[in-house]
Chain A
Amino acid sequence: MSLMEPSYRPDRGTWICGRCGVPLEQGKTPIFYLNSAFDVELPRCPQCGLTLVPKSLAQGKMREVEATVEDK
C-alpha cells in the first residue's frame, strides 16, 4: 500500500542549508508515524542531512496519512 507520493519539492523558493550554505537536493528518507514507516524524497542538505517539510505536504498528505495510520 503506497499512501505517499514518491517525492515532494519545496512549495517555492531556492533553499540553502542554514548550517552548510549549500543548495538543498531531493533525497530519499524514511519518515515515521506510530508503527508505520514510509520512504519519500524530500528537499535535503546533501552535507548534513537537514530536511525540509513543505507546508503543502504537512497540511495535505501528511494529515491524511496520520489519520489513516491512527485508525490502524
Chain B
Amino acid sequence: MLDQDGLHELESHCTQESPPHCRVACPFDLDLRAFLARMAENKPGEARKILERHVPLPGILARICDHPCENHCLRQSLGGSIAIHALELACLSADTAPGRTLPLPPKRFKVAVLGAGLTGLTLAWDLGRKSYPVTLLHTGTPESAVLAQYPQLAQSEGLRDFLAEDLERLGKQKVTFVQEALTPGLLDKVASEYDGVLVDADAAPDLGLEESAVDTETLVLRDNICVAGWKSHTATGHAFCSASQQAGQGRRAAQTLERLMSKVSITANRAKEQGALHTDLAGIASVPRVEAATALAGEPFYTPEEATREAGRCLQCECLICVRECVYMQKYKGYPRVFARQIFNNLSIVQGIHTANSLINGCALCGQCEELCPENFSMAELCRSTREDMVDLGIMPPSAHEFALEDMESASSEPCSLTLADSAVAQPAWLFFPGCQLTASRGDQVARLYGWLRETLNKGDKPGLALLLSCCGMPAHWAGRRRLFQEHTDRIRSVWEDLGKPRLVTACSSCLSAFRDRLPEAQALSLWELLDTLDLTTLAKAGQADTALPALFSVQDPCTARHDQAWLNAVRSLAQKCGVKLEEPRLSGTSTACCGYGGLVWCGQPELAAEMSAHRAAQLDHPGLASCIMCRDRLIASGKECWHLLDLLLPGGPGGTERGPGLSARRANRASLRKRLLAQYQGTTEEKPDALARVQIPDDLLPLLEERRILLDDVRGAVLAAESSGHCFQDQESGHWLGSWRPRKVTFWVEYEKQAEGFVVTDAWCHRMIVPGAGGQEAEEVVRTCQASMDKTREVGA
C-alpha cells in the first residue's frame, strides 16, 4: 500500500515541479518563468514584484549582475539565451513603484556586518527585510566599498541611480551604517556583543580571512561568525568581482546566520532534493535574440516594445513530456506528481468521497508514460497497484470493472471455453492459445489457422498442437483483483499440466505477458514468432493476397508488446513476407500508444477509451496494420482503416474496414467457434433446444443495448424469467408488457409485445440499485435482506 515514503519516492521521479535551469543557476532563486511571462505581457510592475520577492538589492543587481542564468537558458541553441539581465534592467527602469515590505515586529537577535561590499550589503538587505536589527560597520563612505568592486555603479548616464536608491531603502529597513576601522580586535568584540556576525572578506581585507578557513556550504568560520564575499578568479588567476557570486554568498550567509541564531540545524533541508527539470525541445523553432536599438551606460537598453518581444521568446520550460502524449492525463488535468498525491489522498480517506477513483481507473495501464519519461515514472504501475489496494480495502466501485470481469468469466467457461488435445500425438509439443478476443472477432481465421498449424507442426520434429479457448485472466490483473488473477492462471496451469506441459503459443500480447508472469515454465511465445519460422507457402496460396490491400501501412504495435522485441520483429518480418510495406509512426515499438482497450477503461469510462482510440488513430498516417485484434477493432470503431496481421496471412477475412463484433456478438462467436471445433475434431454436436430463440430483438435496438451494456442473453433471459415468474406489468394503452430480472448485481428491464411466434422486444434498460418488488424477488423479502446486511456493515464499522 502506498505510504508517505512511497509517495515521496514517487514524487521525486517526476520533475515537472523542478525549477527551470535558469532559475537553478540564479543564486537568488528568481522565478524567471513568472518574471518573463509578465514582461512578455508588458506588465513591468507585476514583473518587478516577482523580482523583488527574490532578488536582494534589486536595482543594484539589475545593473551589475553577471547573469549566470543566461548560460543555462535552453533558448541558447535556439536563437540565443533570453537576455535576462537586460530585461531586469528594463523592468526596473520602467516607471513602477518599488514593492513594499510588510513591517514585521523587530527580531530580538542582533546582527553585525563587517564591510559594506556587495556581500555585506546583500546580507543586510536580506536580514533587514526580516526585521533583524543590522549594524553595518564600514570604512570610508557607505558606498565606497561596493563602488570599488563595481565602478560601473557610479556611471548612471541616463539610467536611474540604483546604488543611491537601494542604499536609501536599506536605511528604511533599519540598517545602521557605522564607520569603523575593520580590525581583528573589532571582530572579537562584535562576536561577543551580537548574535550573528558576517565578515565581508573583500571589503575587510585587513582581517586577512581566507576562503579555505570557512565551511564552503554554510560559510561558517566559527561559532556565530560567517565570512563570505571573496573575489573570483579566472583560469589564469586573474581576480575579478562577480556580482552573482558575491551577492549569492551574502544570501547564503544570511540563511546560515538566521538558522544559527534561532538554533535550527544549519544544514538540514537546505537544498531540495529534486531531479532536474526535463524539457523536450523537439520541434521548437529558433528565434533570434532581440537586439536593443540603444545602449545606456554601456548596456543594451530595451524599449518596452523590445522587452516585450524578447521576453516572449522565453520557452516557459516545463516537462509534461508524458502528458503531451496521453489523453488520459490531459483529461484529468495534471501530471504524475500531482496524480500521485491525489491517489495517495484517495487511499487515506476514511470517511468522505473518494474523488480520485475515476483517476485511478481511467489509466489504460499502457506504460507509454514510463517509456517517454526521462525518469521512467510509471503511472501504469501506480494506478494498477492502487487498484489492488482499493480492492483490498473494499472501496473499488463495482461498476468500474464488473462487466469486463463477467466477460472474462464467460469466455473462460462453458459455452465458450474449450480444451482440445491433439489426437495425432500423445503429448503435444505445443498449446495454441489464441486469446478470448481473437476468438470473439476472428473465429473463422482461428479455426483455419489451427488446422493448418496442426498439420504443419505434425510434419516437423516437435509435433502436436493442442488448443485452449479461454481468457488469460488479464482483465483481473488490470482490475486489481489479485486473487482472481491468481485463481484464473492456476486454472490454466492445471490444464497445461494435464496436457503434458506443452510450449504455449499465443496470438495476444496481453495473454503473453500474463503467461510470462504467472506461467513462466510454459515459455510462452507469440504466434508471430512461431509463424515466422515456418514455411508459409501452404498457408495462403501465393498471389492470393487481397486485391484491396493498401500499398503502405502504418504499423500499430500493441502496448503490451512494447518490450517484446521478438514480437515486434516477427510482425515486421511477416508483413514483409506478405509483400506489404510498413511505415513506423512517430511513436512506435517501445513507445507505441494504446488503442484504448488497455486497463479496462472501455468498461468504466467508455468515452475516454474512445478518445484514446481516436488519438492513436490520428497518429497513423496510413491504414493501420495491427497485430492485436483489439487494436484493430478499436481503431476501426474510431473510423480508421485498420487491418489485422491475419488478414495478410489468411486472405478473405474481414479486411480493413469491417467493424468488429459488438459485446453480445463476441460471446456468441466464442460459443460458435467452440461448437465448430468440437464438431470438426471430436465429432460432437450438442444441439440443445433453445428456448431463448423465441425472443426476438429488432436490429435497431442492438446498438442501444451495447451502449447500455445489456447483452442479448440478458434481454432474452429477462423476458423468459418475467413470463415464468409473472413479475411483469402491462400497459393498457399499447398492450406492451414490461418485465424485470436480476440474475446478478444488475436488474434488467424488458418491454415487449407478445406475438403468436414468440416475443418481440421493444426496449430494455438496467440499473444496479436494488428495488424491492423488482427483479423477480418479492418486495418484503428484499427489504428484509438488504436492511439486515446494512445493519451488519454498520456493526462492523462501529
Contact = CB atoms under 8 A, between A and B. Distances in A.
Nearest to A23: B732
A59 B731 contact: no
A52 B773 CA distance: 8
Nearest to A62: B767
B357 A53 contact: no
Interface in A12-35: 12-19, 24, 29-35
B740 interface: yes
A30 B708 CA distance: 25
Nearest to A70: B397
Contact of B772 (A31, A34, A45): A31
A13 B770 contact: no
Interface stretch (B65-73, B587-595, B775-783): B775-783
Contacts of A70: 357, 397-400
Task: Tell me whether chain B's interface is mostly helix, strand or loop, or mixed.
Answer: mixed
A37 B786 contact: yes
Interface in B705-725: 708, 722
Given A13-B731, A59-B708, A70-B357, A50 B783 contact: no
Contacts of B732: 13-16
A44 B738 CA distance: 13
B770 A32 contact: yes
Contact of B783 (A15, A24, A30, A72): A30
Given A51-B773, A72-B353, A58 B397 contact: no
**Which of A53, A63, A72 gathers most chain B CB within 10 Å?**
A53
Contacts of A37: 786-787, 790
A49 B780 contact: yes
A33 B779 contact: no
B730 A35 contact: no
Contacts of A15: 729-732, 738
Contact of B774 (A16, A33, A52): A52
Contacts of A17: 729
A57 B399 CA distance: 18
Contacts of B728: 18-19
A32 B773 contact: no
A32 B765 contact: no
Contact of A33 (B400, B708, B736, B770): B770
B721 to A, nearest CB: 13
Interface string B388-401: 00000000011110
Nearest to A14: B732
A48 B485 CA distance: 44
Nearest to B346: A71
Nearest to A19: B726
Interface string B750-771: 0000000000000101111111
Contacts, number: 121
Contacts of A71: 353-355, 357, 397
Given A52-B774, A71-B397, A33 B733 contact: no
- Counting contact residues on chain A (CB < 8 A from B), the size range is 35 or more
A51 B767 contact: no
B737 interface: yes
Contacts of A52: 729, 738, 774
A24 B774 CA distance: 14
Contacts of B397: 67, 70-71
A12 B763 CA distance: 13
A32 B20 CA distance: 53
A59 B727 CA distance: 21
B769 A50 contact: no
**Which of B400, B729, B740, B768 gathers most chain A CB within 10 Å?**
B729
B749 interface: yes
B765 A55 contact: yes
Contacts of A53: 740, 747, 749, 767, 771, 774
A38 to B, nearest CB: 8
Nearest to B779: A49
B547 interface: no
B4 interface: no
B773 A13 contact: no
A18 B726 contact: yes
A29 B726 contact: no
B212 interface: no
A32 to B, nearest CB: 4
A51 B772 contact: yes
A63 B320 CA distance: 34
Contacts of A67: 397, 399
Nearest to A16: B730
A52 B727 CA distance: 10
B734 interface: yes
A7 to B, nearest CB: 14
Contacts of B767: 53, 57-59, 62-63, 66
A34 B402 CA distance: 14
A42 B770 CA distance: 13
B793 interface: yes
A35 B793 contact: yes
A29 B779 contact: yes
Interface string B347-381: 00000111101000000000000000000000000
6 contacts: A14-B731, A15-B738, A30-B786, A33-B770, A37-B787, A53-B767
Top 8 closest pairs, chain A to chain B, by CB: A51-B773, A70-B397, A13-B731, A49-B779, A18-B728, A58-B767, A32-B770, A32-B786
Given A42-B771, A49-B778, 5 more contacts: A14-B731, A29-B779, A31-B772, A53-B774, A58-B766
Interface of B: 352-355, 357, 397-400, 708, 722, 726-734, 736-740, 747, 749, 763, 765-774, 778-780, 783, 786-787, 790, 793-794
